[in-house]
């Protein structure tokens, strides 16, 4: 384990609105980025598309956005964006590159931290590797307004580690019953094993806003009864063939078809999220992550 004791470090609390202040110099700016994890119980619900399009929308609102592809074993953010990174997180984990070295430019000035695909070791990192990686990441995110984390699906420790380090956990579901039950399973683990008290729900691929609200009500009916976790409804994204058309061309729907149904949903979502205040808990940095590891790891 790393010997440094982060409890002796001052934990920089995030700004209440989570955004950088244009008037501050970089020396004065001691705050961290607003860290948002996008996660799901079931795969294929649209996380990667949501992260990329939301990141694009945030950068169109003038925010400095960093996207972390945290689907460490099967990352495909680069494929979605049509970029071919030379290096990825596996090089950082092996100590060959720093995070700053592997950053890629994405559409709309977003910066992308690419994951690797097909490297199984990355799906079970040691605690030393995780702490080292997150310490490196922590330094870098001082310079961004929003860090969006695209996690893998499911309830593995790797996924949960990224979720608990975020200020906001956005659980994505589609209106399919299997996706809803898997979201419940994820929330159960978040609540019982990681003592998370709240998360947000985003319903993707809905036929109407009403359908999204129905899914939310259905889920809350069960979580309110059985779990000690509060779910905020973030909204929904309409089903739109243009998303898949964009994926096939390796271009974002928001970039290619800015007036499409889905693109309008992403822009609307980003605007509303930019206006809401994130939690002021001391999360979103590796200090928090360290304490989490110490709590959960037999020394």
Backbone angles phi, psi at 293, to 5 degrees: -65, -40
- Nearest residue to 255 (alpha-carbon basis) of 126, 156, 45, 109: 109
205 binds ligand ADP (CB under 6 A): yes
Candidate residues 58, 216, 239, 288; the one interacting with ligand ADP per rule CB under 6 A: 239
- Give the span between the Cα atoms of 50 and 131, in whole angstroms: 27
**Residue 175 interacts with which of Mg ion, ligand ADP, none, CB < 5 to 8 Å by class:** none
With respect to ligand ADP, which residue has the nearer C-beta, 227 or 247?
247
Mask for 31-60, x = binds Mg ion (CB under 5 A): ----------------xx------------
Angle at 28 between CA 23 and CA 30, to 5 degrees: 110
Both tokens of 227, joined, read 């779990």
202 binds ligand ADP (CB under 6 A): no
Q: Could you say which residues in the range 30-59 bind ligand ADP, by CB under 6 A?
A: 40, 43-49
Contacts of 171 (CB under 8 A, 6+ apart): 39, 40, 41, 183, 186, 187, 199, 200, 201, 202, 231
With respect to Mg ion, which residue has the nearer C-beta, 47 or 111?
47
Question: Cβ distance 82 to 250 under 8 Å?
Answer: yes
151 binds ligand ADP (CB under 6 A): no
177 binds ligand ADP (CB under 6 A): no
Residues in contact with ligand ADP by CB under 6 A are 40, 43-49, 204-205, 237, 239-240, 243-244, 247, 262
């Amino acid at each position: 384990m790393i010997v440094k004791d982060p409890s002796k470090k001052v934990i920089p609390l995030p700004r209440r609105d989570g955004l950088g202040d244009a008037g501050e110099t970089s020396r004065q700016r001691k705050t961290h980025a607003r860290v948002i994890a996008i996660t799901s119980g079931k795969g294929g619900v649209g996380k990667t598309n949501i992260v990329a399009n939301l990141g694009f929308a945030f950068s169109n609102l003038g925010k400095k956005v960093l996207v972390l592809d945290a689907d460490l074993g099967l990352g495909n953010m680069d494929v979605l964006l049509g970029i071919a990174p030379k290096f990825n997180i596996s090089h950082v984990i092996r100590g060959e590159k720093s995070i700053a070295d592997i950053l890629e430019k994405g559409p709309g000035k977003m910066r992308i931290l690419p994951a690797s695909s097909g490297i199984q070791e990355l799906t079970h990192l040691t605690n030393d590797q995780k702490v080292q990686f997150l310490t490196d990441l922590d330094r870098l995110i001082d310079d961004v307004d929003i860090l969006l984390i695209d996690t893998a699906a499911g309830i593995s420790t790797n996924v949960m580690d990224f979720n608990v380090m975020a200020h906001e956990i956005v659980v994505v579901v589609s209106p399919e019953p299997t996706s809803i039950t898997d979201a419940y399973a994820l929330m159960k683990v978040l609540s019982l094993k990681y003592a998370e008290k709240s998360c947000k729900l985003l319903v993707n691929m809905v036929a109407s806003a009403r359908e999204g609200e129905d899914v939310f009500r259905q889920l809350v009916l069960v979580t309110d009864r059985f779990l000690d976790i509060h779910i905020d409804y973030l909204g929904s994204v309409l089903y739109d063939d243009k998303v898949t058309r964009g994926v096939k061309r390796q271009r974002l729907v928001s970039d290619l078809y800015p007036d499409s149904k889905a693109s309008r949903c992403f822009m609307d979502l980003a605007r509303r999220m930019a206006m809401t205040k994130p939690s002021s808990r001391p999360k979103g940095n590796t200090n928090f992550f360290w304490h989490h590891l110490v709590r959960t790891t037999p020394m």
